[in-house]
Amino acid sequence: MKAGASEKVELAHNAAGRAVPTMVNGKPQIPFLGTGKYQPRGRKVAPAICSTKDYPDSGDKRVADLETALRKCGLRDGMVISNHHHLRDGDKVALMALEAAARIGIKDLLWFPSASFPSQKGAIELMEKGVIHHIEGSMIGPLGDYCTQGKMRGMGVLRSHGGRYQAIQDGEIHIDVAVIAAPTADFFGNADGSHGKSACGSLGFALADSTYADRVIVVTDNLVSFPCVPWQIQGNNVDYVVEVESIGDAAKIVSGTTQITRSPDRLVIAELVAKFLRAAGIMKNGFSFQAGAGGIALAFVEYLKQLMKEDGVKARFVRGGSTKFLVELLREGLTDYILDGQTFDLDGVNSIAHDPRHVATSPFTSYNYHGKGNFASLVDAAVLGATEVDVNFNANTVTHSDGRLLHGIGGWQNCLFAGCTILAVPSFRDRIPVIVDEVTTMTGPGEMVDVVVTERGIAINPRRTDLLDAVKGSKLPVRPIQDIKAEVEKICGKPARPKLGARPCAVVKWVDGTVLDTVWQVG
Amino acid sequence: MRSAVETTSPRFGEAGHWGKEVRSDVHVAFEARDSGGVEISLESRVSPYYGSAILEQTREVLGELGVKHARVAIHDEGALPFVIAARIEAAAGRAGVALGKTSLPKHVPLPAPSPKDRLRRSRLYLPGSEPKYYINASLHAPDAIILDLEDSVHRGEKDAARILVRNTLRAVDFGSCERMVRINQLPLGLEDLAEVVGQSPDLILIPKTEEPEQVREVDRMIGEIKARHGVVRPIWIMPIIESALGIENAFAVATASENVAALTIGLEDYTADLGVVKTAEGRESQYARARLVNAARAAGVQAIDSVFTDVADMDGLSRWGEASRAAGFEGMGCIHPGQIRVVHEAFQPTADEIARAREVVAAFEEAQSKGLAVVSLGSKMIDPPVVQRALKLVERAKAMGVIS
């Protein structure tokens, strides 16, 4: 494996004006060309042809343990090993697999999770020991911190959920071994996420891994007799099945109850978002929306529900991450469908398991930019968060203003393609302004961000004259974004701009695989 | 003259709060010294952005306080500048230096002066020692905010809270909210007045008021301080009646000064004084509340109700508020922003009342234009008090934003 960050890095300025490396981990990169400007050529990649003669006629692909499975998969130094993050902070399988690799003496793995979480901080030790070379995937919390301290040997690559699917299908990254945690599976490898003691709902993030990896291992703590019905992962893509005591900590996989924000100030934001959708005419019969699982987004759903009832409006579909608040919309007939990418709480898991109107989706259907369309652009409104947004509506979701990498991109970039993209953010947190002159890291270009809703007012992107006209005459506090920024700076004082290092330690990919921005080493 | 021991021993004071759970506050440990200049240490969760600004501000504040030698240790949790200044001043004061000196933060423009009978449906309580609640309080659109120096502030924190509230009145933009301060019981309350009146609060609440003399004393003190600071805008008074004797004297209290704009009642203390249990229905305080409304109306001031303490029970709050309005109260206190909307709805006239009042007003205007002394609606003659009430109701409904 070639070293990334330790080499002298050549930088280019991309169409967003950001300096980005032209080579990442030994691979040449295309700097961001502008939205919709990059035209890919060629064909998608495909896994090798297999033959059923190499698999047992009985269908029983079980092996004793993960170590055996990894050996049989031919795991070697420098390979790419992947995991999904549907078990979120409760996942035990990723570390189990990486530690098994360590025991058989493997070095320099590229770990390619769909996201990594604080409970996986054990991966730091594996990086120190040389088992993992670097991580490509969202790094939430301690792993992100480790990356921006410049301690990772390779460069981090941050992709959206759709971007990860795109990178796999386009052959930007080739998965040697995929290890898929499965809340329920049979010995053939059919697997499902909605049942079992570690149920997590959808398994959509593992779809690309299961179809494009050379070797696929399913790890389950709930082995059922063939057939496992329904199956989200097809056993026909699976090489080995490993049974373990537990794939995750149920309490941390889904929350028993999802909490709406109790902060009165955050509730002000949530209510303004709902009122905006009504005033702008977006909330009408047959409309659709997507809201995340953050406290403000959840509260927004509750306010919107009230307004929908008052006006007698029904949605055709809503997009998850699902929570009990979306499930209630479904049960009360306020939406026909939930199209669900991931499932955040027990109500969501029960609903997706039992209600045919609650449908599991994958990054392929929802987000992949190199496809024949995707669901994201069909959604009328997406309500998202951000760590920073600048006066040109560019937004940051991955780093804090001090440059530390602490969050992932998730589906955020993909959701920017919705009819109306709304960032619901407080105007400052702990004295630190959220609206800034220039974002520390650009996760999304401002031309794709339509509205910023803060507790101090609503800023509409001047490009969206239609939205500005639509809410004219409403009582909503619509103000120029510079105005809100100026008010906040009057309260907080103008913040100093923290000095960032000159060494790139991660890149942010745009949905088409081009490089949108660089995350620099801190301190 | 100080003894040798006193001058060489460290004089130490601390103020404010820090820790993982604390937001928007700062802890200042201040050690007065006799030599060696000023030494400042800073730990802050916002230091990459505001570290140098905080150090610079600290030196400025110490300069204004006339401190030349001290060790100051600051643990900041994202406090805004007016809070930082207040905490440094309080810590220095507790270390026994800079007494009588102040460091005032930048002034935001004062809102328009408060009319005596302005809309007072809701007043949101903000504890005088919790700065995190101040900056966004007006976003919840109460008619008033009330910076509390009394029950929500620990006895040992009164001095620091007083300075914080003073700075808050000066530096925080509360939008169109009326800015009220609840002082402590006299005589401690007089020290509160000395600190806050110069910053033009719109109204002072006097707790545990029983005698008109208490009101007169506060009024006198406010007048003196206003004159000293050149404050000309009105500062209204709202006595809080919280005892059986207070209820007996309600009319005398309400008429003790023409600056009394409203009377209000504190039911926790009142029921304790009576030795009865305070219930959600409030039957035990029916007499007191009716008596208070009557005294207030007789004195020509507003009657304002107590607070509803169960912040989770919105239905109970709504019922309480509606009953309160029906009994003649014009507003009540809120201890959580979530209560404000419910209270506003409860104190809002019904659509029928508004429609009826508008008919009366239209008839009155028609009579005026025809030069008629008698107002009639259909076959009925309308008495002047009814006209007056209708005019007031329409004006209030406009102020509430119910009609345009």
Contact A496 B51 (CB under 8 A): yes
Same domain, B173 and B318: yes
Beta-carbon neighbour count of residue B69 at 10 Å? 15
pLDDT for res B371: 86
Burial class (CB in 10 A: 0-12, 13-18, 19+), B404: exposed
DSSP string for A27-52? EE-PBP--TTT----S----PPP--G
Contact A402 B49 (CB under 8 A): yes
Contact A430 B51 (CB under 8 A): no
- Which residue does chain A place closest to B54, by CA atoms? A493
CATH code where residue B23 lies: 3.30.230
β-bridge partners, B334: B124
If one counts the domains in chain B, the total is: 3
Q: In a mutagenesis test of the A interface, which of B58, B75, B134, B136 is the best target, namely the one with the most A β-carbons within 10 Å?
A: B136
Burial class (CB in 10 A: 0-12, 13-18, 19+), A247: buried
Q: Which residues from chain B sit within 8 angstroms of residue A260, using beta carbons?
A: none
pLDDT for res B131: 97
Q: Does residue B106 belong to any structural domain of this protein? A: no
pLDDT for res B7: 44
Contacts 24+ apart (CB under 8 A), A5-13: A5/A150, A5/A152, A5/A153, A5/A154, A5/A155, A5/A503, A5/A504, A5/A505, A5/A521, A6/A153, A9/A503, A9/A504, A11/A504, A11/A518
- Which residue does chain B place closest to A498, by CA atoms? B48
What is the SS3 assignment for B180? strand
Q: How far apart are CA A320 and CA A342, in angstroms?
A: 6
CATH homologous superfamily, domain A58-136+173-253: Glutaconate Coenzyme A-transferase (3.40.1080.10)
Contact B24 A491 (CB under 8 A): no
Q: How far apart are CA A114 and CA A178, in angstroms?
A: 11
What is the SS3 assignment for A322? strand
How would you write A414-483 as a 3-class SS string?
A: HHCCCCEEEEECCCEECCEECEECCCCCCCECHHHCCEEEECCEEEECCCCHHHHHHCCCCCCCECCHHH
Q: Which residues from chain B sit within 8 angstroms of residue A429, using beta carbons?
A: 78
Task: List residues in chain B touching A: CB distance below 8 A.
Answer: 23-24, 45-46, 48-53, 77-81, 135-136, 139-140, 336-338
Residue A381: both structure tokens together: 């409104």
Q: Which of A455, A492, A498 sits opposite B48 (nearest CB)?
A: A498
Distances in whole angstroms, Cα of residue A234 to Cα of each of A239, A420, B108: 11, 36, 65
The full set of domain ranges for chain A reads 58-136+173-253, 264-498
* E strand or H helix that includes residue A359: strand A358-360
Q: How far apart are CA B171 and CA B200, in angstroms?
A: 12
Q: Which residues from chain B sit within 8 angstroms of residue A456, using beta carbons?
A: 139
Q: Is the bond preceding residue A321 a cis peptide, omega within 30 degrees?
A: yes
Nearest alpha-carbon partner for B181 in B253, B127, B219: B127
Q: Which residues from chain B sit within 8 angstroms of residue A495, using beta carbons?
A: 46, 49-50
Residue with tokens 């955020």: A412
Q: In a mutagenesis test of the A interface, which of B50, B140, B174 is the best target, namely the one with the most A β-carbons within 10 Å?
A: B50
- Angle in degrees, CA A240, A241, A243, rounded to 5: 150
Contact A496 B53 (CB under 8 A): yes
Residues 6+ apart with CB under 8 A from A121: A141, A142, A143
Q: Which of B23, B52, B136 sits opposite A430 (nearest CB)?
A: B23
Same domain, B175 and B287: yes
Strand order of the β-sheet with A515-522 is A156-158, A500-509, A515-522
Residue with tokens 């049960």: A331
Same domain, B286 and B363: no
Domains A58-136+173-253 and A264-498 belong to one CATH topology = yes
What is the SS3 assignment for A389? strand
Q: Does residue B19 belong to any structural domain of this protein? A: yes
β-pairing, A515-522 vs A500-509, is antiparallel
Contact B81 A432 (CB under 8 A): no
On whether the CB atoms of residues A436 and A497 are closer than 8 A, the answer is: no
Same domain, B65 and B186: no
Q: In a mutagenesis test of the B interface, which of A262, A425, A431, A455 is the best target, namely the one with the most B β-carbons within 10 Å?
A: A431
Contact B50 A496 (CB under 8 A): yes
ipTM of the complex as predicted: 0.88
Contact A496 B337 (CB under 8 A): no
Same domain, B328 and B394: no
Same domain, B55 and B33: yes
Domain that holds residue B78: 4-94
pLDDT for res A7: 54
Same domain, B62 and B135: no
Residue A344: both structure tokens together: 């955040």
Of B312, B329, B346, which one is at a domain's C-terminal end?
B346
Beta-carbon neighbour count of residue B59 at 10 Å? 14
Contact B24 A431 (CB under 8 A): yes
Beta-carbon neighbour count of residue A10 at 10 Å? 8
β-bridge partners, A506: A156, A519
What is the SS3 assignment for B371? coil
Q: How far apart are CA A253 and CA A259, in angstroms?
A: 15
Question: What's the first-to-final CA gap in chain A, in angstroms?
Answer: 27
- Which residue does chain B place closest to A495, by CA atoms? B49
Indicate the residue type of B61: V
Same domain, B326 and B388: no
Assign 3-state DSSP to chain A and report helix, strand, coil percentages, each to 5: 30, 25, 45
- Which residue does chain B place closest to A488, by CA atoms? B135
Same domain, B53 and B160: no
pLDDT for res A365: 95
Nearest alpha-carbon partner for A20 in A382, A398, A523, A506: A506
Q: How far apart are CA A491 and CA B172, in angstroms?
A: 8
Nearest alpha-carbon partner for A321 in A342, A335, A295: A342
- Which residue does chain A place closest to B76, by CA atoms? A430
Same domain, B36 and B61: yes
Q: In a mutagenesis test of the B interface, which of A268, A399, A430, A492 is the best target, namely the one with the most B β-carbons within 10 Å?
A: A430
Q: Does residue B101 belong to any structural domain of this protein? A: no
CATH of domain A264-498: 3.40.1080.10
pLDDT for res B38: 96
Burial class (CB in 10 A: 0-12, 13-18, 19+), B7: exposed
Contact A265 B139 (CB under 8 A): yes
Q: Which of B50, B136, B338 sits opposite A455 (nearest CB)?
A: B136
Contact A431 B46 (CB under 8 A): yes
Q: Which residues from chain A sit within 8 angstroms of residue B78, using beta carbons?
A: 429-432
Q: What distance in Å separates residue A493's CA from the closest CA in chain B?
A: 8
Same domain, B241 and B370: no
pLDDT beneath 70: ranges in chain A? 1-7, 256-258
Q: Does residue B61 belong to any structural domain of this protein? A: yes
Backbone phi, psi, residue A396, to 5°: -125, 130
Distances in whole angstroms, Cα of residue A369 to Cα of each of A163, A317, A372, A414: 7, 21, 8, 8
Task: List residues in chain A touching B: CB distance below 8 A.
Answer: 264-265, 267-268, 401-402, 429-432, 455-456, 491-493, 495-496, 498
A:B CB pairs within 8 Å? 53
Contact A495 B49 (CB under 8 A): yes
- Tens place of pLDDT for every residue, chain B, 404 residues? 333 334 445 699 999 999 999 999 999 999 999 999 999 999 999 999 999 999 999 999 999 999 999 999 999 999 999 999 999 999 999 999 988 899 999 999 999 999 999 999 999 999 999 999 999 999 999 999 999 999 999 999 999 999 999 999 999 999 999 999 999 999 999 999 999 999 999 999 999 999 999 999 999 999 999 999 999 999 999 999 999 999 999 999 999 999 999 999 999 999 999 999 998 888 999 999 999 999 999 999 999 999 999 999 999 999 999 999 999 999 999 999 999 999 999 999 888 989 999 999 999 998 889 888 888 888 888 888 888 889 888 988 988 888 87
Residue A447: both structure tokens together: 């031309």
Residue B215: both structure tokens together: 């009101």
Residues 6+ apart with CB under 8 A from B243: B208, B210, B269, B270, B273
Same domain, B60 and B154: no
Q: Which of B23, B49, B139 sits opposite A401 (nearest CB)?
A: B49
Q: Which residues from chain A sit within 8 angstroms of residue B42, using beta carbons?
A: none
Contact A430 B48 (CB under 8 A): no
